[in-house]
Amino acid sequence: MTSPDVQVVGMGFAGITAARVLAEAGYRVHLTERRNHIGGNAYDHLDTAGVRVHRYGPHIFHTNAQRIFEFLSRFTGWRHYEHRVLAKVGEQLLPVPINRTTINALYGLALDGPGVEAFLARVRVPRDACVTSEDVVLASVGRDLCEKFFRGYSRKHWGLDLSELAASVAARIPVRSGDDDRYFTDHYQCMPSEGYTAMFERMLAHPLLSHETGLDGIAARARIGARHVIHTGPIDAWYAHRHGALPYRSIEFRHEHLADVARLQPVATINYPNDFAYTRVTEFKQLTGQVHPGTSIVREFPCATGEPFYPIPRPANQALFQRYRTLADDERDVTFVGRLAQYRYYNMDQAVAAAMTAAARVMEIVGAPGARVTSRSSPVRRP
């Protein structure tokens, strides 16, 4: 194999996007992936019953960025889909994010929009400063809604109480005084018509792109001999955990097919903030629109060990990441991008945007495709 200009470690949204952008600019890129498939956590496939499922839990694409939508639209058609979620609170299934329907059904009220706003104003617990997620939730919806919808879910998902999590976690969750029950409100809300894996396969279909799966890309770096590496895996793994392992939250996904059930749930995802060991159940046919006599679901059981899925947002963890970021800032031949490499929560469109930015900077560092590096300049700070 001719030595590539760039090696990309990891083949999820960030890695494949960066590789495609570079290839279209004339750079030869070789991608490596530790798992035995492409697509990272967005990988989907047909299960044994023939239902398309997301192996690592539901991935619903949404964005307000026209540039990102148009870029991905080159590689897939779309199925319009607006995600809706219900939470099981007692014997009721109630919309989340919390809206007028939620509050009226939960408390037996008949409030209009202004009435909901007045209700929330009465129950909110003022906070001088919102430092933790508990502060955010109490200041937004008060104690009772906090206990019914947020505290138990947080403990299961993160293994931490709301009071132990950074404010940014709960700040992502809106509260609505109207009846809008969509989980997202972005302009573009859709699913790849043939699945994420098919989209990624088209993105990889370029004469300057090659890839290997089932390979430790860090260990294979010397053999591949690229002039530059884009690393999308855990940043602490790149540095052999020299400062200690960064904490991540993992999930055990338990998939099940129900052969004689055409539809199991009223919406695609039901959250379980208080009951059971799992946090949510997703029914995939509702996401994809697939027609099939049976249905396939996944239950999510958060856990402390396993594949790293969620960087845990706590000040101590961020401080540890900054120690690795300091090492990364001194690198000349490695760029770090993506959720695991940058230790931050990215939606899929955010991962694509970060990868595009990273690819542009790599072009500046590497110079012309196929050229030999004749001099070194000062280190370039990573995105």
Domain borders along the chain are 6-79+189-246+311-366, 85-171, 248-303
Task: State the average pLDDT for the chain.
Answer: 94
- pLDDT at residue number 371: 59
- pLDDT at residue number 374: 36
Mean pLDDT of 94-116: 97
Question: Which amino acid does the sequence have at 305?
Answer: T
Domain 6-79+189-246+311-366: CATH class, spelled out = alpha beta
Pick from 253, 248, 89, 42: nearest CA to 158: 248
- Whole-model pTM? 0.93
- pLDDT at residue number 169: 87
Pick from 378, 249, 251, 247: nearest CA to 324: 247
99, with CB counted inside 10 A (0-12, 13-18, 19+), is buried
123-132, 140-149, 221-230: lowest mean pLDDT where? 123-132
Residue 376 clears pLDDT 60, i.e. is over it: no
Residue 379 clears pLDDT 80, i.e. is over it: no
Residue 359 clears pLDDT 80, i.e. is over it: yes
Q: In the chain, at which residue ranges do the beta strands (DSSP E only) sit?
A: 6-9, 29-33, 44-46, 52-54, 61-63, 78-80, 85-89, 92-96, 188-192, 209-213, 228-231, 248-258, 269-271, 280-283, 295-303, 310-311, 334-336
Q: What percent of the chain lies above the pLDDT cut of 90?
A: 90
Residue 138 clears pLDDT 50, i.e. is over it: yes
Where does the pLDDT of residue 172 fall: very low under 50, low under 70, confident under 90, or very high at 90 and above?
confident
